[in-house]
Amino acid sequence: MLACGNFALTAVLLQKFAEAAARLIPQWEIIDYAHDDKVDAPSGTVRELAYRLSKIRAPEPTVPVAETVGPREARGASVSGSQVHSIRLPGYMISAEIVFGTPDQRLTLRHDSGSSAQPYAEGALLAIRKVSGLVGVHRGLDSVLDL
């Protein structure tokens, strides 16, 4: 059995690449973008990303959120230990971005969805082709990718 929360290949790769980066870079924040009528914040994909990163390590911000001068909400919400900022405005499609920072360097990983179901259908077809060879329960499309 294969349990997947998102079948868009670029969203799945964002999560996988972010896990690799979190092993080496101790500071990051996540930005979740969506149209103005999306009611969940953050999105399921971003919640999954934050959860997966929590299994790697906790981020190590230079100034902990608890020591923020001003409203702590300005630093976003803590989701599985990661700071997450959800934007819900007209004109946005569903996107997820994670920004890693080190002195004099920044790595940005971003998934942008379009308006069609094609990316999700392609991922679902990939899962269908792979699931017959699985034994037991596997979580996430990345568990069947040949990376």
Q: What is the reported pTM? A: 0.88
Beta bridge partners of 112: 95
pLDDT in tens, the chain (147 residues): 778 778 788 999 999 999 999 999 999 999 999 999 999 999 999 999 999 999 999 999 999 999 999 999 999 999 999 999 999 999 999 999 999 999 999 999 999 988 777 877 888 888 888 788 888 887 877 777 765
DSSP string of 107-137, one letter each residue: EEEEEE--SSSHHHHHHHHHHHHHHTT--S-
Domain boundaries, the chain: 7-119
**Which CATH class name applies to 7-119?**
alpha beta
